[in-house]
Structure 1
Amino acid sequence: MREYTEKLLEKLRESTAAVLPIAGIVLVLCFALVPVPSGILLCFLAGAVLLTVGMMFFNLGAEMAMSPIGERVGPAMTKSRKLWVVLVLAFLLGVIITVSEPDLQVLAELVPSVPNEVLILFVAAGVGVFLAIAILRMLFGIALPVMLVGFYALVFFLAFLVPEGFRAVAFDSGGVTTGPMTVPFIMALGIGISAVRNDRHAADDSFGLVGLCSIGPILAVMVLGMIYHPAEGNYELEAMKNIEDSMELAKQFLGGFPVYLKEMMISLLPIVLAFGLFQLFSERLPGKELKRIGIGMVYTYVGLVLFMTGANMGFMPAGRYLGQAMAGLSANWLIVPVGALMGYFIVKAEPAVYVLNHQVEEITDGAIPAKAMGISLSLGVAASVALSMVRVLTGLPILYFLVPGYGIAIGLSFFVPKIFTAIAFDSGGVASGPMTATFLLPFAQGACMAVGGNMVTDAFGVVAMVAMTPLITIQILGLVYRLKKQKNPVSSTTGNGLEYLEDDAIIEL
């Protein structure tokens, strides 16, 4: 019990450090630049508390349960000597996990002319197919950059065949379907499968699953757009309700808890069932380890319920109001640097970012520190939010940003160490999580409403931008690593196949 208490306190310090900066920025804006109704501010503060506590439980739960489950299910899947069995299992696992992702239900409402059930099944099948492709790549050591060139060439070819109002939603779907539960599980699955290979490049190939799985939903939604020929996206914002007193505030949050209790239970169920089948038909874990995983699952569930309630009930209305108020200022260009500042700090509050950064540090034996990863991700998201605000103010098409952005990212993949490319494309899906959907997207929607822009073509696309820029910044980190290594060619090789200088080549930012 004391062990869990100490770990919870450690996670509380980490989550407080992640949420406090963005809360401070919002408070400064409220009192110095744009007045915010007291009810919306109270909702935001209550949401910040729930986010902090939710991250504390989630981070510990992911460490105790989600990562160990994925690392054990991965090798169990590859025990069959029949490749088709492995691929079918990967496909089914991808479909089941994606169908239960709550943000996918929101995406389904944004796509016109396409029945919700059809879109959900297509997107889930897209993730399943690309999870199977990703595992195939790992088992046979296929170069990731070559695959990225082929698949993104197909993505942008299809992008010119669908209506402009449909493109932003299609690209957003890649980030929406990689949620806070599926990302830790898929990443751990990759680590578990790579452990089957004992070659020196196994660690390099342990990442990249999330990056490839993010392509499937984009292709699936674009194919649906070509089949159903939707003329334009339709989306209407719900009217914001101001809270009058503390009783009304409590009633609103208490009304939201049952919704997220149900949603998170449905989302966790596939992972629990997959682990249950593993326990029945594969290696049986000892009781002590099962107990630890069980406690971790409870922590994960409680953390996600608190986090999603705080994000949706508290951060969403605050983000939309701030965006609308700032874009309505005479100096509305201020929304660009303010958006960048928000993006820099808000990515630290994404639940799966913590998991990614620490898994990278662990797999590379500290050669890529979590701090360096965190700074690179923050810089990437800051740039993406700034560019998104430019899009809102000017109405520039999203392809003006995505085509050169992905061109640079894929071009860099041929010049940086393989592991950085895989980590970079994973980080895109990780960074575009629930905080982007519940704060940054409403922020862009509010701004778009204030300037009279097209909600679908101008506001949507924030998720896609947030998923793109880390691909560049993380690979730039890889270039820094390579340059440091070239200055001192005396290197050593770690057990995981990553060559680095024991002192000088460890990246420090």
Structure 2
Amino acid sequence: MDFYQTKFTEKLKEAFNAVLPIIGIVLFLSFTIAPVPSSILLLFLFGAVLLIIGMMFFTLGAELSMTPMGEKMGTKMASAGNLGFVLFLCFLLGFVITISEPDLQVLAEQVPSIPNHILILAVACGVGFFLVIAMLRMLFAKALPPLLFLFYIVIFLLAFLIPEDFLAVAFDSGGVTTGPMTVPFIMALGVGFAAVRSDRHAEDDSFGLVALCSIGPILAVMILGLLYHPEDTGYTPTALPEISNSVELWKCFAEGFPEYMREIANSLLPIVLFFAAFQMISLKLKKKKLLKIIIGIAYTYIGLVLFLTGVNVGFMPAGNHLGQTIAGLPYRFLLIPLGMVIGFFIVKAEPAVYVLMEQVEEITSGAIPGRAMSLSLSLGVAVSVGLAMTRVLTGISILWFIVPGYAVALMLSFFVPKIFTAIAFDSGGVASGPMTAAFLLPFAMGACQSVGGNIVQDAFGIIAMVAMTPLIAIQILGFIYQYRMKHAKVSETESASYLDIWEEDDIIEL
């Protein structure tokens, strides 16, 4: 019991520190340049409380369940003799998890004239296929950069062939489908697969699964964009709620809870069933370990229900209203620096970011500290939101940002240590989570609506931008790390050479 109490206290502190800056920024703006109706402000504050509690439960639950489940299943699958059966399981796992991802349902509603079930099945097939490619890469120790280079070349070629209304949504889909629940599991699965290898690059190759799985949805939506040519691509924004008393305030959340309880149950069920099958057939974990995982699953479920309810019911209206109000000011250029400040802090509230940082510290034995990762991600997301707000104000095509951005990221991948490239491309999917979809996207949509822009072309794409800039930021961190390591080795060599010229007695005297 003391263990859980200590962990709860630690996770609550982390969640509070992550969400507090966002609360402070919204309150500051609402009492100064962007007045917010009291009903929306109360929704936001109530949502923030749910957000903090939900993050506490989720991060502890992922640590107790998602990580050990993924690692143990990955190790067993990689150790199996039948490669074809293992790859089939990987495809099936990626397919089923993606179909169950709540954010994919939202994406399907955003893409005009494509039947929802066709889009969902296509995206799920894309994730399953690329999870197979990711596992093959790890098993056969193939380098990640050439694969990324090849697939993104295909993506950029397709980008010039599809209707412009599909561009932003296609790139957004890569971040949307790697949700807060599937990311920790897929990353842990990679660690398990890498564990069967004994070479020195095994740990480096344990990252990169999310990077490759994010490519599948982009290609799937682009291919559908070649097949479907919608006439009506307009997007109707959701009306902001109007609340007159505390009973109506609670009603908003009371209506949201059953919906997200059902969605998270559907998302969690495939992973639980897969694990149960492995447990009965081959894992045979002891009761104590199994009980710990079951408790972790329960915490994960509770945490995600609270988190998503708080974000979608409480944060979405606040983000939309702030975007509309700030963009409607005479000095609307403030949208860019304010967006950058919000982006800097909001990534810290993404639940899967903590899982990534802990896993990076563990795999690298502290050589890549979590604080450096956090700062790099925050700076990257700040730049991406600034660029996204520039698009909202100017209407510049997303290709003018995405193509050069990914070109720089792919070029860097050939010069930095392998592990930094894999972590960087994983972090793009991790950073573009539910906080981005439920606060930053409505913020951009509200601003775009206020300036009279095209919401589908100019506001959508912010998730893609948030997923792109960490690729560059983390690899720059890799450059700094590599430089320091080389500098430290040179200093050691010089010190050794200096000592070599002294006699043993002289050294003793020194």
TM-score norm. by structure 2 comes to 0.95
Question: Is 1:405 aligned to residue 402 of structure 2?
Answer: no
**Residues 384-393 or 72-81, more deviating:** 72-81
- Residue 72 (structure 1) aligns with: 72
Q: Secondary structure at the match of 1:488?
A: helix
One-letter amino acid of the counterpart of residue 155, structure 1: I
Q: 1:93-149 CA distances to partner (integer Å, 9 max, x unpaired)?
A: 000000000010011111112111011000000000000000000011111110011
- Give the superposition deviation at 1:491: 11
Q: Which residue of 1 aligns with 2:240?
A: 240
Instruction: Check the 8 A contact 1:74/1:190 in 2, yes or no.
Output: yes
Counterpart-to-counterpart distance in 2, 1:303 and 1:490: 48
Q: Which moved more, 1:274-283 or 1:147-156?
A: 274-283
Shift in Å, 1:168:
0.3
Partner of 1:484 in structure 2? 484
Task: Decide whether the 8 Å contact of 1:163 with 1:230 is kept in 2.
Answer: no
Name 2:107's counterpart in structure 1: 107
The count of residues paired between Structure 1 and Structure 2 equals 492
- Structure 2 counterpart of 1:163, one-letter code: P
Whether contact under 8 Å (1:168, 1:464) holds in the other structure is: yes
**What root-mean-square deviation, in Å, do the aligned CA atoms of Structure 1 and Structure 2 show?**
1.1
Displacement of 1:164 in angstroms is: 0.7
- SS of equivalent residue, structure 2 residue 415: coil
User: In structure 2, what is the Cα distance between the partners aligned to 1:485 and 1:241?
Assistant: 54
Task: Say whether the 8 Å CA contact 2:66–2:184 is kept in structure 1.
Answer: yes
Match of 1:199 in 2: 199
Q: Distance in 2 between matches of 1:364 and 1:2?
A: 29
User: How far 1:247 moved relative to its partner?
Assistant: 1.3
Separation in 1 of the partners of 2:490 and 2:311? 48
C-alpha separation in 2, matches of 1:231 and 1:202: 49
Pairing 1:121–2:121 present:
yes
Partner SS state of residue 157, structure 2: helix
Shift of 1:489: 1.9
- Tell me the SS of whatever aligns to 1:207: coil
Change (3 A) 1:232 1:154: farther
Within the alignment, does 1:280 sit opposite 2:280 as a pair? yes
Equivalent residues of 1:163, 1:232 under 8 A apart: no
Q: What is the distance in 2 between the residues matched to 1:61 and 1:395?
A: 42
Q: 1:244 Cα shift? A: 1.2
Q: Distance in 2 between matches of 1:17 and 1:378?
A: 14
Show the counterpart of 1:444: 444
**1:288 shift after superposition:** 0.1
CA deviation profile, 1:171-220 (whole Å, cap 9, x unmatched):
00000000000000000000010001011000110000000000000000
**Cross-structure match for 2:348:** 348
Q: Is the 8 A contact 2:79 2:196 kept in 1?
A: no
Greater CA drift, 328-337 or 222-231:
222-231
Q: Which residue matches 1:500? A: none
Counterpart of 2:506 in structure 1 is none
Residue 455 (structure 1) aligns with = 455
C-alpha separation between the residues in 2 aligned to 1:391 and 1:54?
A: 33
Q: CA deviation at 1:242?
A: 2.0
Structure 1 residue 79: deviation in Å?
2.5
- Which residue is equivalent to 1:505? none
The whole-number CA distance in structure 2 between the counterparts of 1:491 and 1:244 is 68
Query: Residues of 2 paired with 1:32 and 1:462: CA distance?
Result: 26
* Paired AA for residue 76 in structure 2: A
Q: Which residue of 2 aligns with 1:429?
A: 429
Query: Take 1:95 and 1:261, find their aligned partners in 2: how far apart are those partners?
Result: 21
Matched, 1:173 2:167: no
Partner SS, residue 200 of structure 2 = coil
Q: Tell me what 2:507 maps to.
A: none
5 Å matches for 1:261-276? 261-276=261-276
State the Cα distance separating 1:297 from its structure 2 match: 0.5
2:7 aligned residue: 7
Does the CA-based 8 Å contact 1:111-1:234 persist in structure 2? Answer: no
Provide the rounded CA distance (Å) in 2 between the counterparts of 1:166 and 1:251: 36
Moved more, 291-300 or 481-490: 481-490
Q: Distance in 1 between matches of 2:272 and 2:359?
A: 21
Determine helix, strand or coil for the equivalent of 2:79. coil
Aligned residue identity for 2:218 = I
Alignment partners' CA distance in 2, 1:395 and 1:163: 16
Unaligned runs of 5+ in 2: 493-510
**Equivalent residue, structure 2, for 1:98:** 98
Does the 8 A contact of 1:388 with 1:462 survive in 2? Answer: yes
Superposed, 1:200-215 pairs within 5 Å as 200-215=200-215
User: Contact (CA 8 Å) 1:163, 1:231: kept in 2 or not?
Assistant: no
Matched, 1:304 2:321: no
1:217-244 CA distance string (max 9 Å, x none) = 0000100111122346332112112211
Who wins on radius of gyration, i.e. which is larger?
A: 2
- Residue by residue over 1:239-262, the C-alpha shift from the partner in whole angstroms, topping out at 9 and shown as x without a partner, is 112211111111111111111111
Cα distance per residue 1:451-478 (max 9 Å; x no partner) = 0000100000000000000000000000
Query: 2:138 corresponds to which residue?
Result: 138
Could you tell me how far apart the structure 2 residues matched to 1:21 and 1:213 are?
Answer: 31
Unaligned stretches of 5+ in structure 1? 493-509
State the match for 2:229 in structure 1.
229
Q: Partners of 2:446 and 2:101 in 1: how far apart?
A: 25
Distance in structure 1 (CA, Å) of the matches to 2:436 and 2:81: 41
Separation in structure 1 between the aligned mates of residue 406 and residue 73 of structure 2, nearest angstrom:
32
Give me the whole-angstrom Cα distance separating, in 2, the residues matched to 1:243 and 1:347. Answer: 29
Contact 1:210 1:425 in 2 (8 A): yes
Which whole-Å CA distance do the structure 1 matches of 2:48 and 2:134 have between them? 36
Residue 263 of structure 1: CA displacement? Answer: 0.6
Within 2, Cα distance between the matches of 1:231 and 1:347? 36
Give me the whole-angstrom Cα distance separating, in 1, the residues matched to 2:358 and 2:2: 23
Aligned residue number for residue 57 of structure 1: 57
1: CA distance, partners of 2:149 / 2:357: 26
State how far apart, in whole Å, the 2-side matches of 1:325 and 1:203 are.
48
Task: Report the counterpart of residue 497 of structure 2 in structure 1.
Answer: none
Is the CA contact 1:110–1:234 (under 8 Å) kept in the aligned structure 2? no
User: CA offset at residue 82 of structure 1?
Assistant: 2.3
CA distance in 2, matches of 1:233, 1:88: 37
In the other structure, the counterpart of 1:22 is 22
The answer to whether the Cα contact below 8 Å between 1:166 and 1:233 also exists between their aligned partners in 2 is no
* Maintained 8 Å contact 1:34/1:322: yes
Change in Cα spacing, 1:24 to 1:305, as seen in structure 2 (3 Å) is same
Structure 1 equivalent of residue 498 of structure 2: none
What SS does the aligned partner of 1:282 have?
Answer: helix
Counterpart position of 1:313: 313
Question: Is 1:361–2:374 an aligned residue pair?
Answer: no
Q: 1:158 is matched with which residue?
A: 158
Q: What CA distance in whole angstroms lies between the structure 2 residues aligned with 1:189 and 1:477?
A: 25
> Counterpart of 2:415?
415
Shift of 1:80: 2.2
Q: Tell me the distance in 1 between the aligned counterparts of 2:223 and 2:25.
A: 41
In the alignment, the residues of structure 1 paired with residue 141 and residue 439 of structure 2 have an alpha-carbon distance, to the nearest angstrom, of 39
Provide closer, same or farther for how the CA distance between residues 21 and 113 of structure 1 changes in structure 2, counting only shifts above 3 A: same
Displacement of 1:490: 6.4
Instruction: Write the letter of the residue equivalent to 2:117.
Output: E
User: Residue in 1 aligned with 2:380?
Assistant: 380
Q: Deviations over 1:297-320 (max 9, x none)?
A: 000000000000000000000000
Quick one: distance in 2 between partners of 1:229 and 1:74? 41
